[in-house]
């Protein structure tokens, strides 16, 4: 059974850092592009950062560049999202999902497969 499990969320202070993990089971993640998305209360789900399968090309949304870094560890079948300089507006549920492609300029392709349960990030001092 193909599954993605996101973890690493929690309570973080403004200016702090955290690393989110997305672990795949039932399939080999490095064959796929993967994206991180987030959804804040009352807002639509938005694209955050993605990484391609074959060559590791990455893309991060303009508003998050410089603070968000996506990476992958194929040996662990895991993709990470490092968030530095956390801001109150980063509070959201973060989801990972497979996408059809990730390119440096165009960014995300279409999401496919299940969303999973997400991991909640709360920002508070």
pLDDT digits (tens, 9 = 90+) for 39-74: 999 999 999 999 998 789 999 999 999 999 999 999
Q: For residue 15, how many other CB atoms are within 10 A of its CB? A: 11
pLDDT at 96 over 90: yes
CA torsion angle 89 77 110 59 (round to 10): 50
Strands in 1-125 per DSSP E: 3-7, 10-12, 18-25, 33-39, 46-51, 58-60, 68-73, 78-83, 92-99, 102-103, 107-108, 111-112, 119-123
Q: How far is residue 7's CA from residue 64's CA, in Å, rounded to a whole number? A: 20
Q: How far is residue 16's CA from residue 38's CA, in Å, rounded to a whole number? A: 18
Using a pLDDT cut of 70, give the percent of the chain over it. Answer: 100
Identify the band that residue 121 occupies on the pLDDT scale cut at 50, 70 and 90. very high
Instruction: Count CA atoms within 13 Å of residue 81 on its CB side.
Output: 33
Q: How far is residue 80's CA from residue 34's CA, in Å, rounded to a whole number? A: 10
Identify the band that residue 116 occupies on the pLDDT scale cut at 50, 70 and 90. confident
Question: Are the CB atoms for 46 and 36 separated by under 8 Å?
Answer: no
Q: How far is residue 84's CA from residue 44's CA, in Å, rounded to a whole number? A: 23
**Mean pLDDT on 108-121:** 90
Identify the band that residue 120 occupies on the pLDDT scale cut at 50, 70 and 90. very high
């Amino acid at each position: 059974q193909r599954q993605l499990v996101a973890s690493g969320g929690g309570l973080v202070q403004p200016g702090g850092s955290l690393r989110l993990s997305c672990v795949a089971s039932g399939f080999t993640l490095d064959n796929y592009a993967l994206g991180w998305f987030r959804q804040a209360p009352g807002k639509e789900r938005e694209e955050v950062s993605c990484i391609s399968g074959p060559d590791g090309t990455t893309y991060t949304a303009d508003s998050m560049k410089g603070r968000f870094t996506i990476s992958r560890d194929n040996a662990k079948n895991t993709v990470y999202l490092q968030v530095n300089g956390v801001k109150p507006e980063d509070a959201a549920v973060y989801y990972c999902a497979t996408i059809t492609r990730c390119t440096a300029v165009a960014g995300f392709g279409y999401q496919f497969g299940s969303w999973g349960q997400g991991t909640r990030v709360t920002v508070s001092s």
